[in-house]
A and B are shown apart, each in its own frame.
Chain A
Amino acid sequence: MLRLSRTLTSIAAAAALSASAEDSIRIGEYACLTGKEASLGMSSHQGTVLAVDHVNEAGGVLGRRLELITEDTQSKPGESSTSVRKLIARDHVVAVLGEVASSRSLEAAPICQAAEIPMISPGSTNPKVTETGDYIFRVCFIDPFQGPVMARFALNRLKARRIAIFSSSTSAYSVGLAKFFKQAFIDGGGEVVAEPRYAEGDKDFKGQLTAIRAAGVDAVFSPGYYNEGALIVKQARELGITVPVFGGDSWEAQSLIDLGGAAVEGAYLCSHYSPDDPSARVQDFVAAYRRRYGGDTPDSNASLGYDSVLVLADAIRRAGSTEHRALRDAIASTRDFDAVTGRITINEKRDASKNAVIIQVRNGRFQFVESVSP
């Protein structure tokens, strides 16, 4: 017993020593590395890791290294709050990065706000996320912008007048995007003739799709995640629905193509950037990402994860410290920051205002169609 307690004391002493010797800046990240939305979470995580390495290779921030501590939310409700509490209370991180899914960002944001730890979401587009409070930021555009972009795309490019919106009733992202799309589509002179709903995790959509087919539409908009998206397009084609089916930015995952196969060929979706962009900033990033991850091309979430670190590192540099209030003010005053997904300016609502990109699945790849500015 005595020996045991002596060992414990020496471990504690060693821990205290290493804590004081260690002079890195700790950043927390919570992401869905496993589970349903793992494709999105892994992309954003890989982008984040790459950015931390790049910052450290360039000498770190304020002469200190960045240290990334990652927690997996397993794509499950309830895990985000646990992860973020752990990062703040146990790991004493100076800022938190995450999540991709709006539902999970909404879960963690109040905790960061209460602890006054700045949080930057890479890819949550629901407007409510940053409305939580003045410590919550994001580096992507929001659904009140994305919805109208897709509505105009449907009206002008797809020439759709009658449309069905097939959304998920259990995801904050899907509900919000469906609402903003609908408003803009009706304002543009279109008509929404069917609005069936599904729940996250559903696999059978033929009931709703049969009703959509009977309603006779020019196109189907399905805001939601890639898992359901792939099955929806597949089953729509199986029911003989030949009109275009298109989605939002959470369809952009290799899994959409893997799961959907030939059925998703020709599907349109919204995105945050295109790896085909010829600018040096983007091409350097794409090349570095490919080198690091065995030739994989970075998707939107990878680039947003990358940008979230760069915006944070830039803010720490400008703040000159990691004191949370100074850091918050520095992030809030980000102007025209040259990031991979475009020039990021954090507006008064703590959202990034940036271009959106429309892409299409062609020959089993996501390919650039057009870019839309705010």
Chain B
Amino acid sequence: MSEFLQQLINGLSLGAIYALIALGYTMVYGVLRFINFAHSDVFMVGAFIGYYVGRHLPEGTVWGGLIAMAAAMAGCAVLGIGIERLVYRPLRSGPTLNVLITAIGMSLFLEYSGQLVFGATPRAFPSIFPAKLIEVHGLIVSMNQVIVIVVAAVLMVALEFAVFKTKIGTAMRAVALNPKAAQLVGINIDVVISFTFGLGSALAGAGGVLYALNYPSIDPLMGLVPGLKAFVAAVLGGVGNIPGAALGALILGMVETFVDGSRWSTYKDAIAFATLIGILLFRPAGLLGRFTAEKV
């Protein structure tokens, strides 16, 4: 029983990180109908910003950790907005495929510039938050896991609030529904899209710091695997759907953790992805996605 609960906590903290990355994928897709492959590398940059800022802060304090995270979020938001402004916007009127290929190019650009700037050797991430173990009836939760889960939950609630309760959120949803009509009623699409990229990238930045906190070895290619998993999570939940991305990420984190803990651990990714295929067979639009037939 305690093993089961422990795995539940492990899965929850892994899923929470996937969720933060998945939200960025899903938001951009929801608004622009395009998959931003460079997102996982913005996540990596977030971890490195956290690393450089964290080194100048005293280790193991809550405010220090929050400063490092805020810096990573701000830096990533600027990076995300910059990428959109310089790279994606000039191509927006062209075929979607062009932007998609450009996104892959952007991803490779960030990865290999990262190798040049940061070096390819993994670095040890400072423990910026207080490291403590909390033990309840043989159940052990590390402070980092608590922070990951709490921060992810807070950010997701904040995101839900921003999208549904604020003016810019309403504008975002309007652009997602119909960009041309949104423009006609006076919404500045450019601002909305910049905002979407900024918000999604800030979440990726927070995800990068939280990931690095839990798995303190960071390198320029660290975004690849979690980025792929988060993308899968977004599809699993119904791409374009915010609660869906969170749900998909949670399921993926749980499946991975439980398979790891079983004797089929060699087949972790195979089983995780087979689950994805299984779910998509029965719900082609993802768990919470709505399936709309395209009219020709």
* Stretch in A253-261, A291-299, A333-341 with 4+ CB within 8 Å of B: A253-261
Q: Which chain B residues border A74 with CB–CB below 8 Å?
A: 120
Contact of B120 with A214 in the complex, beta carbons under 8 Å: no
Bound CA–CA A337/B253 (angstroms): 53
* Stretch in B77-85, B178-186, B212-220 with 4+ CB within 8 Å of A: B212-220
Contact mask for chain B residues 81-92; partner A; CB cutoff 8 A; 1 contact, 0 none: 000000000000
Q: Which chain A residues border B120 with CB–CB below 8 Å?
A: 34-35, 38, 74-75
Contact pick for B258, options A207, A230, A238, A258, CB 8 Å:
A207
Contact pick for A210, options B7, B133, B215, CB 8 Å:
B7
Contact pick for A36, options B144, B219, B259, B260, CB 8 Å:
B219
Kindly report which residue of chain B lies nearest to residue A230, judged by CB atoms. B217
Contact pick for A199, options B121, B122, B211, B268, CB 8 Å:
B268
Contact of B3 with A214 in the complex, beta carbons under 8 Å: yes
Contacting B at CB under 8 A, from A234-267, are 234, 238-240, 255, 258-259, 261
Bound CA–CA A52/B90 (angstroms): 54
Most buried by B among A35, A197, A206, A211: A206
Summarize B's interface: helix, strand, loop or mixed: helix
Report if A38-B121 is in contact (Cβ < 8 Å); known contacts: A203-B217, A207-B10, A207-B257.
Answer: yes
Contacting B at CB under 8 A, from A210-237, are 210-211, 213-214, 227, 230-231, 234
Q: Counting CB contacts under 8 A, is B140 at the interface?
A: yes
Contact of B3 with A210 in the complex, beta carbons under 8 Å: yes
Q: Counting CB contacts under 8 A, is A204 at the interface?
A: yes
Contact of A197 with B265 in the complex, beta carbons under 8 Å: yes
Q: Counting CB contacts under 8 A, is A39 at the interface?
A: yes
Measured as residues with beta carbon below 8 angstroms from the partner, the interface class of chain A is: 35 or more
Q: Counting CB contacts under 8 A, is A110 at the interface?
A: no
Contact of B225 with A227 in the complex, beta carbons under 8 Å: no
Kindly report which residue of chain A lies nearest to residue B2, judged by CB atoms. A214
Contact mask for chain A residues 157-181; partner B; CB cutoff 8 A; 1 contact, 0 none: 0000000000001000000000000
Contact pick for B261, options A195, A210, A240, A255, CB 8 Å:
A210
Contacting B at CB under 8 A, from A298-314, are none
Report if A211-B3 is in contact (Cβ < 8 Å); known contacts: A38-B121, A74-B120, A204-B14.
Answer: yes
Contacting A at CB under 8 A, from B250-277, are 256-263, 265-266, 268-269
Q: Counting CB contacts under 8 A, is A368 at the interface?
A: no
Q: Which chain B residues border A211 with CB–CB below 8 Å?
A: 3, 260-262
Contact pick for B256, options A38, A204, A238, CB 8 Å:
A204
Kindly report which residue of chain B lies nearest to residue A211, judged by CB atoms. B261
Q: Counting CB contacts under 8 A, is A201 at the interface?
A: yes
Most buried by A among B14, B119, B216, B260: B260
Bound CA–CA A289/B227 (angstroms): 41
Q: Counting CB contacts under 8 A, is A153 at the interface?
A: no
Q: Which chain A residues border B127 with CB–CB below 8 Å?
A: 261
Q: Counting CB contacts under 8 A, is B115 at the interface?
A: yes
Bound CA–CA A259/B10 (angstroms): 21
Q: Which chain A residues border B294 with CB–CB below 8 Å?
A: none
Q: Which chain A residues border B2 with CB–CB below 8 Å?
A: 214
Q: Counting CB contacts under 8 A, is B6 at the interface?
A: yes
Bound CA–CA A23/B271 (angstroms): 58
Bound CA–CA A230/B14 (angstroms): 19
Q: Which chain A residues border B261 with CB–CB below 8 Å?
A: 196, 207-208, 210-211
Contact of B142 with A238 in the complex, beta carbons under 8 Å: yes
Q: Which chain A residues border B121 with CB–CB below 8 Å?
A: 34-35, 38-39, 255
Contact of A210 with B115 in the complex, beta carbons under 8 Å: no
Q: Which chain A residues border B140 with CB–CB below 8 Å?
A: 238-240
Most buried by B among A36, A39, A74: A36
Contact of A199 with B269 in the complex, beta carbons under 8 Å: yes
Bound CA–CA A34/B268 (angstroms): 28
Contact mask for chain B residues 107-121; partner A; CB cutoff 8 A; 1 contact, 0 none: 000000001000111
Report if A196-B14 is in contact (Cβ < 8 Å); known contacts: A35-B120, A207-B257, A210-B3.
Answer: no
Kindly report which residue of chain A lies nearest to residue B140, judged by CB atoms. A240
Contact mask for chain A residues 305-347; partner B; CB cutoff 8 A; 1 contact, 0 none: 0000000000000000000000000000000000000000000
Contacting A at CB under 8 A, from B119-156, are 119-122, 124, 127, 133, 135, 140, 142, 144
Please give the residue numbers on chain B whose beta carbons come within 8 Å of chain A beta carbons, in ascending order.
Answer: 2-3, 6-7, 10-11, 14, 115, 119-122, 124, 127, 133, 135, 140, 142, 144, 211, 214-217, 219, 222, 225, 256-263, 265-266, 268-269
Please give the residue numbers on chain A whose beta carbons come within 8 Å of chain B beta carbons, in ascending order.
Answer: 34-36, 38-39, 74-75, 169, 195-199, 201, 203-208, 210-211, 213-214, 227, 230-231, 234, 238-240, 255, 258-259, 261
Q: Please give 8 more A-B residue pairs, beta carbons under 8 A apart, in addition to A169-B266, A261-B127.
A: A203-B214, A203-B225, A207-B257, A208-B265, A210-B6, A210-B7, A213-B3, A213-B6
Closest A-B pairs by Cβ, 6 of them? A207-B260, A203-B215, A34-B120, A207-B257, A206-B10, A211-B261
Q: List 19 A-B contacts (CB under 8 A).
A: A35-B121, A38-B120, A196-B263, A198-B260, A199-B269, A203-B225, A204-B214, A206-B14, A207-B257, A207-B259, A207-B265, A211-B260, A211-B262, A213-B3, A234-B216, A238-B140, A259-B216, A261-B124, A261-B127
